[in-house]
Amino acid sequence: MADLPAVVSGGWAPVAAGLLGALAVAAALLDGALAGRAAGVRSGMGQPAGEVARLLRQRRRTTVAADRLLWRIGGAGLLGMALMIVTVVPLGRWTLFDLGVGVVWVNALDVLAWAFVWLTGWGANSAYALVGGYRFLAHGLAYELPLMFALVAPAVAASSLRVGEVAAAQQGLWFVVWMPVAFVVYCLGVVAIAVWGPFSPALGRDVAGGVTAELSGVDRLLFLAGRYALLAAGAAFAVPMFLGGGAGPLLPAWAWVLVKAAVLLAGLVWLRRRVPALRPDVFMEVGWLVLLPAVLLQDLLVAVVVIGG
Amino acid sequence: MGVSGALARLALRHAHLLVIEVPGYWLTRVAVERLAGVRGWRLAVSPADADILAVCGSPGPELALVVARLWEQLPGPRARIDVAAPDLVAAALDQAEAMLRDTPRQRRDSTARDGQGLDDAPGGDIALAHGSEDRDGLEMDVLQVRLGPVLPDWPAGLVLRAHLHGDLIVEAQAGVVDAGQGGPAGGGHVVGGDTSGDIRQVDAGEVAARRCDNAARLLALAGWPDAAGGARAIRDRLLTGDRSAAITELARLRRRVRRSWLLRWSLRRVGPLPPDELARLGLAPDLTGDVWDRLNGMLDRAVFVTGGPAGVAAGGPAGAGVGGPTGFDVGGSVTPPAAVASVVSGWDVATARLIVASLDIAALDVVTDG
Amino acid sequence: MVTHLVFWGLAVVAVLAGVAVFVVNSMARASYSLALSFIAVGLQLLLLQQLYVGVLVILMMVMEMAIMAVYMNMFMGMNPAMMSMNMVHGARHALPVSVGVFLLLAAGALFAPWPSRRGSPPADVTAALGMELMGPKMLAMAGVGVVMAATIVSGVVLAAHRTRYDRFGDDLRRPRPADPQPGGVGR
């Protein structure tokens, strides 16, 4: 078994946050470029910067009889979630927080999306925003259990809930190779908690932006940044779980972690351009009747291999 | 000034506009969307998301009230422009940009708004919702929500008073905003100021553009922004005279849509309308099938029209009065609002929006069902 | 020292958030106050080195409160504009009783002669706790889990208004169910 990552002091936390921010910005740039190319405008890459400038210049607003406290907590919460997730992702030989149950920690954090997205929809006291919030929960009911069982597979294979040990258990063969179903379901889960692409009906045009219908200025900026950060954090967490951690030729381990995370992130961003929305009313059955059995079979297979091997 | 000036310049290159189409000003709305896109601006989905409120046409009293309310909801910096005709769009957008750039003016606007509006909450006067049984026999609260007249990808002027159980539309009444003002709503350009009121023959490019616009709306609602953007680009090409490129791209889009099994999976069996039901509701017979069929039908009609001779007046799969004798009609019959209300009942808001978009509405009959 | 301060700080948060459940005036706030209270308890468990249990408390409780808030709001027909809900009923009797019970339990916790530690915690506390709780009964516990899940599903099926006869016809021969809205796997 390879070396386990060493815990670095909390003083490095801003660096981790900065790396997450860099990945999120890269995702936003790529999304802007892809959207710009599709729309035939040149300003694609500049779009994130322009959007940030626009939202910083814009006034915050509120609505009649809003539950402002919960609304603001929900809007800012996604960003906090993403930051907490990357604390347990080892960057090659270093980690900020070597939690014995890191996998469950990430699982607990991804469930917070249920609270934050719904609260953002609820707080505005607006019918469209609330419909958006409920849509997210409907998606949640369909993706959350498959996602949980998808996280079980690497943990069972590594016989550990420690993220560093899961990464170290993939010397030679990455988990993505022999547990592809779990990997795909995990990626769907990440896309879902980021309310991204196919899982964006909660922010749908049909309900005037859904959860974000009433957000403006810095509140909208925080919510949107939170989505990109969650996408980035989810991609980063996939690296130790499925993509062999820092393993790779030539480059140092930390660089491989970043490269793998960036590639997966680019794939998730690109997905948005290719596929239409998976509405909760049709995705619900897929989640329960296709994804859940498939990922349970995957877990069974992994368990049999681990016990038999 | 340096930082805030730079911020303003950057922000202005990415302004979002909320476009409101007064029934009859379709060409103006399309021109606004096209020229805003050229500037790198985007379409807002809600007033909170918008910097610019672009009113296309001159609203009647009812819509004017709605516009005023929406204007109050723009967070600011904000600009309102009223555009009466397609050739005035470029100047109006310049004007909006100048208004947004004028920081002192925006400051004054912002100060003037402080402490007014919003917090005049109705206090404890909000009535309890009354309940009724939902389709699973559970007692549910009924929420009254007005869908329209201003919603993204929504037929101009349509207002749907929906009774919601959660997000399920139990029943709905449809109307057209400012129905009492005369003239068919949402019709071609001839009712409003896009031309000088002449009833002119609608050319094939415009008919096809209209189909592409409606297809773009449906694709956008289905959550596929790229395909929707493609359909909009084709629409703009058809209208600006770039016919041959548009026809190639249209064929490509049609193939792309047909090949997307995910889209097909999502739209199949949603909102099925058999022929007898269509006849009963007074809808065009080529709307048979589900939302998926109707989306393909729209693209097929666009292809057919562009392939046919200019100024098609009759026949073909498009049928139903393409450029028919009534003159105001741009390639689809006049849709009775009551039919819209009838086909969305029993569906949730997301599917109902898809069904409404799939009806390929060009014009709404002003006779309301109350 | 810092750990002690954090622990007591979390204890105060947990209790105050628990009190807030009965003070706030909306179901959403009550649900999430309770969630906050449980998160504070979960973090305390983390400080006690019960990592798995601590994280699990946070996971379960946030999810549960998210669902509870939804159901409560749905059935009580609430929106943020109607913040006049009251979680306390029969306050005159309930308040003294609950304060009394809290004091009793707190006194028990404070004054009980806790045994002093013998030996040292095992290397893997999570595994040790699992063995201690489940031990040889692991298979039975896993079985109970499945039975509970099956019970929930059957409960929902029995409670559902529409039966399979409504969906598949009286002879159950209909190839596709007559559902108000189609599902996602072509049924």
CATH of the domain at B45: 3.40.50.12280
Tally Cβ neighbours within 10 Å of residue A267.
11
- Residue C168 resides in a domain: yes
* Cα gap B150→B159, rounded to integer Å: 9
Q: CA C111 to CA A96: how far, in whole Å?
A: 39
Q: Are the C-beta atoms of residues A269 and A27 closer than 8 Å to each other?
A: yes
**Does the pLDDT value for residue A155 go beyond 60?**
yes
Q: Cβ separation of A115 and C62 shorter than 8 Å?
A: yes
What ipTM was assigned to the predicted interfaces of this complex?
Answer: 0.87
Of B11, B225, B262, Cβ closest to residue A53: B11
Q: What is the pLDDT of residues A243-269, one digit of tens each?
A: 888 887 888 888 888 999 999 999 999
Q: Tell me if B229 is assigned to some domain.
A: yes
CA distance C184 to chain B (A): 8
Residues C44, C76: one domain? yes
Domain termination site, one of B113, B133, B149 = B113
User: What is the percent of chain A with per-residue pLDDT over 70, rounded to a whole number?
Assistant: 98
Q: Do B269 and C162 touch (CB under 8 A)?
A: no
**The pLDDT of residue B192:** 39
CA distance A195 to B105: 37
Query: pLDDT value at position B308?
Result: 47
Shortest alpha-carbon distance between residue A208 and chain B (Å): 5
Chain A contact partners (≥3 CB pairs within 8 A): B, C
Residue C100 falls inside a structural domain: no
> Token pair for residue B325?
């004798």
**Residue ranges of chain B with per-residue pLDDT less than 50:** 118-125, 184-200, 308-331, 368-370
Residues B279, B192 share a domain = yes
To the nearest whole Å, the CA of B165 is away from the closest chain C CA by 10
User: Is residue B271 located within the same domain as residue B356?
Assistant: yes
Task: Report pLDDT for B198.
Answer: 42
- Walk along chain C (187 residues) and give the pLDDT tens digit of each residue: 888 899 999 999 999 999 888 888 888 888 889 999 999 999 999 888 888 888 889 988 888 888 887 777 666 656 555 556 677 778 888 889 988 998 999 999 899 988 888 888 787 777 788 888 888 888 888 899 899 989 998 998 888 777 888 888 888 888 878 777 787 776 5
Residue A183 has pLDDT above 90, yes or no: yes
Position C5 in a domain: yes
Contact list in A for residue C55 (CB cut-off 8 A) is 99, 101, 104-105, 107-108
| Cβ–Cβ below 8 Å for A200 and B38 | no
Same domain, B336 and B194: yes
Burial state string for B322-348 with b = 16 or more CB within 10 A and e = fewer than 16:
bbbeeebbbbbbbbbbbbbbbbbebbb
Identity of the residue in B40, B145, B223 whose CB atom sits nearest the CB atom of A127:
B145
Q: Are residues C70 and C1 in the same domain?
A: yes
Nearest Cα residue in chain C from B348? C181
Range in A9-13, A94-98, B309-313 with the lowest mean pLDDT: B309-313
Residue C116 lies in a domain: no
CB pairs under 8 A between A and B: 159
Interface-testing mutation among C85, C161, C176, with chain B (most B C-beta atoms within 10 A): C161
Let me know if residue A2 belongs to a domain.
no
Q: Which of A31, A58, A203 to mutate to test the interface with B (most CBs of B within 10 A)?
A: A58
> C66 and C143, same structural domain?
no
B154 part of a folded domain = no
> Is residue B222 located within the same domain as residue B109?
no
Of C77, C82, C161, the CB nearest to B137: C161
Find the CB nearest C180 among B135, B138, B166: B135
Question: Quick one: what percent of chain A has pLDDT higher than 90?
Answer: 31
Q: Are residues B228 and B82 in the same domain?
A: no
- Asked if C128 and C163 sit in the same domain, the reply is no
Asked whether residue C50 is domain-assigned, the answer is: yes
Task: Find the chain A residues whose C-beta atoms sit closer than 8 A to any C-beta of C.
Answer: 64-67, 69-70, 99-101, 104-105, 107-108, 111-112, 114-115, 118-119, 122-125, 130, 134, 137, 140, 144, 161, 281-286, 289-290
Q: Is C89 inside a domain boundary?
A: no
- Within a domain: B167: no
Q: Is residue B164 part of a domain?
A: no
Instruction: Indicate the residue among C93, C112, C133 that finishes a domain.
Output: C133
Domain enclosing residue C34, as ranges: 1-80+124-133
Given a cut of 80, whether residue A187 has pLDDT beyond it is yes
> How far off is chain C from B310, nearest CA to CA, in Å?
41
Residue C96, domain member (yes or no) = no
On the question of pLDDT at A215 being above 50, the answer is yes
Predicted pLDDT of residue B286: 83
Domains of chain B: total: 2
| Whether residues B230 and B310 fall in one domain | yes
3 state SS for chain A: CCCCCEECCHHHHHHHHHHHHHHHHHHHHHHHHHHHHHHCCHHHCCHHHHHHHHHHHCCCCCCCCCCHHHHHHHHHHHHHHHHHHHCCCCECCEECCCCCCHHHHHHHHHHHHHHHHHHHHHHCCCHHHHHHHHHHHHHHHHHHHHHHHHHHHHHHHHCCCCHHHHHHCCCCCCHHHHCHHHHHHHHHHHHHHCCCHHHCHHHCHHHCCHHHCCCCHHHHHHHHHHHHHHHHHHHHHHHHHHCCCCCCCCCCHHHHHHHHHHHHHHHHHHHHHHCCCCCHHHHHHHHHHHHHHHHHHHHHHHHHHHHHC
Same domain flag for C129 and C162: no
Are C62 and C144 part of one and the same domain? no
Inspect the interface and report whether the beta carbons of B351 and A214 lie closer than 8 Å.
no
Query: Contact A118/C66, CB-based, under 8 Å?
Result: yes
**Which tokens belong to C21?**
């459940």
Mean local confidence (pLDDT), A7-15: 80
* Closest residue on chain C to A141 (Cα): C67
Distance from CA of A248 to the nearest CA of C (A): 31
Assigned domain for C186 exists: no
Distances (CA, A) of B276 to B89, B281, B362, C43: 43, 9, 22, 63
What pLDDT is attached to residue B190?
39
How many domains is chain C partitioned into structurally? 2
- Nearest CA-CA distance, residue C166 and chain B, Å: 12
Number of domains into which chain A is organized: 1
Asked if A224 reaches chain B (Cβ–Cβ under 8 Å), the answer is no
What are C169-183's pLDDT values in tens digits?
888 888 878 777 787
Across the range A11-37, mean pLDDT stands at 86
Distance from CA of A29 to the nearest CA of C (A): 33
- Do the Cβ atoms of A108 and C58 come within 8 Å? yes
Which structural domain, as residue segments, surrounds residue B61? Answer: 2-113
